[in-house]
């Protein structure tokens, strides 16, 4: 099963959070980008088993989004 997980930077809370339509119930956060990826790698397959009784291979595609306001009010997206 292929799943896309978006990792979004929350500029107010100063943490990365997950957003995924493919893995219901995947609500994780971390101050560290790499730590969040590891959390997702463990939690996503477990949630797919619980929600769908799916026990096959899981292929995770990560998309990172970080929006910040620059000094001149410019919005930067990376």
Per-residue pLDDT tens over the stretch 21-62? 999 999 999 999 999 999 999 999 999 999 999 989 999 999
* CATH number of the domain enclosing 6: 3.30.2390.10
The structural domain count of the chain equals 1
Residue 69 has pLDDT above 70, yes or no: no
Three-state secondary structure of the chain: CEEEEEEEEECCCCEEEEECCCCCCCCCEECCHHHHHHHHHHHHHHHHHHHHCCCCCCEEEEEEECEEECCCCCEEEC
pTM, two decimal places:
0.83
Parent domain of 69:
2-77
Which of 76, 46, 75, 68 minimizes the C-alpha distance to 58? 46
């Amino acid at each position: 099963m292929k799943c896309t997980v978006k990792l979004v930077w929350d500029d107010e809370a100063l943490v990365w959070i997950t957003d995924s339509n493919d893995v219901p119930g995947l609500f994780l956060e971390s101050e560290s980008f790499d730590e969040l990826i590891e959390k997702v790698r463990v939690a996503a397959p477990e949630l797919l088993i619980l929600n769908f009784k799916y026990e096959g291979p899981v292929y995770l595609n990560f998309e990172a989004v970080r929006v910040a306001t620059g000094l001149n009010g410019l919005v930067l997206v990376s």
